[in-house]
Amino acid sequence: MSGSGIGANVFITGANRGIGLGLVKEIAKVSGIKNIFAGCRIQLVQRSCKILKKAQILCIKAAFNEVKKCLGSEPALNLLINNSGILENKAAMTTAAFLPLIRQAGASNQSAKILNISSGLGSTAGVQSSKQIPNSNIVYGMSKQRHIMAPVRALNHYTKALAGDVKENNVVAIAMCPGWVRTDMGTSAAMLSVDESVSAIVKLIASLEIGQSGAYLDRLGKTIAF
């Protein structure tokens, strides 16, 4: 796969297992990739993931400084994938920290994209009760309880607002539902394998254009109603 549309430098959070680790492996296949920064809990890193350089980082600001140092004299981050912390506002905090590097990529006419991994629970279309949500719409094994639905919807609306803020910098920001995936959190009953999900996600990332910024999409690029 060509590196066009993804860029050379990528940061992925929640990369120790499941979809996050799958994205690391899939993006590593892309030509032109120079650096993949994988944010994860070191004690949970799977043996199948070879650690080329490990840094014990305890806060987002320290992670930013480490990435900036690794990128050298002209730091630019082409792709940020927020794959963790939906319920803890971590996507917004991580994005705020790394936005200067992403804006630098956009200002240099490089690919500059932010992908927030969301869930089908973030769609309000036609839902009057949490009981209406079928199991096939649940990603990461999330329950149907309202306290789960609310922060996912908030993430989608945050992404839309973010897209407006960064459009002038040629940065694309979208929220995406990866589907119901067979992971520790998604359970073995899920419809998709990790490989099926992440291969589609990476293809879509490469094809994203500025006109799609702010959208809420599934892994195949279909728009999901907020």
Domain annotation covers residue 224: no
How far apart CA 56 and CA 50 sit, in angstroms, is 16
Region 202-223 average pLDDT:
96
Per cent of the chain over pLDDT 90 is 57
Domain annotation covers residue 2: no
Domain annotation covers residue 128: yes
Region 90-104 average pLDDT:
95
| 85 vs 53 pLDDT, higher one | 85
Q: What tens digit of pLDDT does each residue of 120-151 get?
A: 665 656 454 545 444 444 444 444 455 667 77
- Give the CA dihedral 101, 107, 109, 115, nearest 10 degrees: 40
DSSP string, 80-146: EEE-S-GGGTHHHHHHHHHHHHHHHHHHTTS--EEEEE--GGG--TT-SSGGG--GGG--TT--S-H
Quickly state the pLDDT bin for 195 (edges 50, 70, 90). very high
Domain annotation covers residue 15: yes
| pTM, rounded to two decimals | 0.85
The mean pLDDT value of the chain amounts to 83
Domain annotation covers residue 50: yes
pLDDT given for residue 149 in this prediction: 72
pLDDT given for residue 151 in this prediction: 79
Kindly state the DSSP code that residue 225 receives in the 8-state scheme: -
Residue 177's CATH number: 3.40.50.720
- Looking at the 3D structure of the chain, how many domains does it have? 1
Domain annotation covers residue 103: yes
User: What letters, b where the CB count within 10 A reaches 16 and e where it falls short, cover 198-219?
Assistant: bbbbbebbbebeeebbbbbbbb
Contacts of 226 (CB under 8 A, 6+ apart): 122, 123, 124, 125, 153, 156, 157, 160, 216
Parent domain of 200: 9-218
Region 8-22 average pLDDT:
93
Per the CB < 8 A criterion, the answer to whether 208 and 174 are in contact is: yes
pLDDT given for residue 39 in this prediction: 86
Q: What tens digit of pLDDT does each residue of 106-125 get?
A: 999 999 999 999 976 656 56
Per the CB < 8 A criterion, the answer to whether 12 and 38 are in contact is: yes
How far apart CA 88 and CA 16 sit, in angstroms, is 18
Domain annotation covers residue 149: yes
How far apart CA 199 and CA 27 sit, in angstroms, is 9
Domain annotation covers residue 129: yes
